A = this chain, B = another copy of it.
Amino acid sequence: MAGDGNHFVGVDFGGTKILAGVFNSSFKLLKTVKLSTKPERGVEAVIERIERAVRAAVDEADLDLKHVRAMGLGAPGTVEPESGRVIYAINVGWENVPLKKELEKRLGLPVFIENDCKASTLGIYHLELKGKPRSMVGVFLGTGVGGGLILNGELYAGANFAAGEVGHMIIDAAGAKTGRTARGTFESLASRTAIFHRIKTAVKEGQKTILTEMLGPGLEEMRSGDLRRALRSGDKLIEKVVAEAAQYTGVAVANLISVLGPEVVALGGGVIEALGEEMMPIIEKRAEELLLPGTFNGVRILASQLGDHAGISGAVVLAQARSK
């Protein structure tokens, strides 16, 4: 396999979209192409769409695949990094897919695969924080909630490649009493899904929000950006629901600090990108008031500036590191 160029491709493969980005050797992003994932069309069709997004992005950058040294990809689920298998990805209904092998065959490039949140954690750590802290926890609030750990300067995999599943932390045991459900988890309390569910329930119960005027009574097309607009127009219901999600996030951040003592907790994902300005002060305050002063001292809690590009940035960090 060639891969003798000096450019890199990073792919963020999610449940709804595939984002491919072309970077030069100093990690400057040249071009991106976004396609929808369409997981309902099956595994083969999605792999073909990833291939198409990569080829299109390379072409957008006026390059050819021969200019690309390696490609990295973040996938939404449990990934076995060495074999490049997606073991389990609930969002897209995948089980045991040899994604690395398939993409290498189609593109003729070395391909490196990681869990999407672990890839984003790598991206923030190396490109935004320049690898300076010794330890960092990445926490990503989107459709679900995921995370990644940097310990002693390295991405930490854990047994079963399962470390960093911060969204599964139970922070409300009272809500989790009924056996094998996701209730009471950080994810079930602070993801976009949780926030939207709480808003829809409140509207059904007769509470008022400007969102029904903006989007209609069913709130079907609601997106995180709509919440930001509602907040800025002083919508009390949305303010309360978003503040609640931020409080729960503060609890989860405090827990991660208690268990891991990281130098940095970096938050990202669509919810933080859209609502970070409102949520971050609440998250920080809640975490600080829950921690012993000695534990909180010197810990930085920040919202990543990479935004939607954290995933592709991390993917190219991965590609560059592993293709050396």
Contacts and interface: CB of A to CB of B under 8 A. Distances in A.
A289 B180 contact: yes
Nearest to A299: B159
Given A78-B294, A260-B163, A158 B135 contact: yes
A243 interface: no
A86 to B, nearest CB: 12
A290 interface: yes
B160 A261 contact: yes
A254 B87 contact: no
Interface in A44-94: 78, 87-88
A248 interface: yes
Given A156-B151, A248-B173, A166 B259 contact: yes
A261 B259 CA distance: 13
Interface string A280-315: 000000000111101101110000000000000000
Interface string A241-268: 0000001100100111111111100000
A291 B170 CA distance: 10
B260 A161 contact: no
B261 A161 contact: yes
A174 B174 contact: yes
A159 B166 CA distance: 19
A169 interface: yes
A198 interface: no
A251 B172 CA distance: 10
Given A179-B289, A292-B168, A159 B255 contact: no
A171 interface: yes
Contacts of A147: 259
B172 A159 contact: no
Interface in A161-192: 161-166, 168-176, 179-180, 189
A163 B156 CA distance: 15
Interface string A80-110: 0000000110000000000000000000000
A261 B157 contact: yes
B258 A298 contact: no
A236 interface: no
B172 A172 contact: yes
28 contacts: A88-B294, A134-B159, A135-B158, A151-B151, A151-B156, A158-B261, A159-B262, A159-B298, A160-B299, A161-B261, A162-B258, A162-B261, A162-B295, A163-B259, A165-B261, A165-B295, A168-B258, A169-B258, A170-B254, A171-B171, A172-B173, A172-B174, A173-B248, A174-B174, A176-B290, A179-B289, A180-B289, A180-B290
Given A152-B152, A160-B297, 10 more contacts: A87-B294, A159-B262, A160-B299, A161-B261, A162-B294, A163-B261, A166-B259, A171-B172, A172-B174, A173-B251
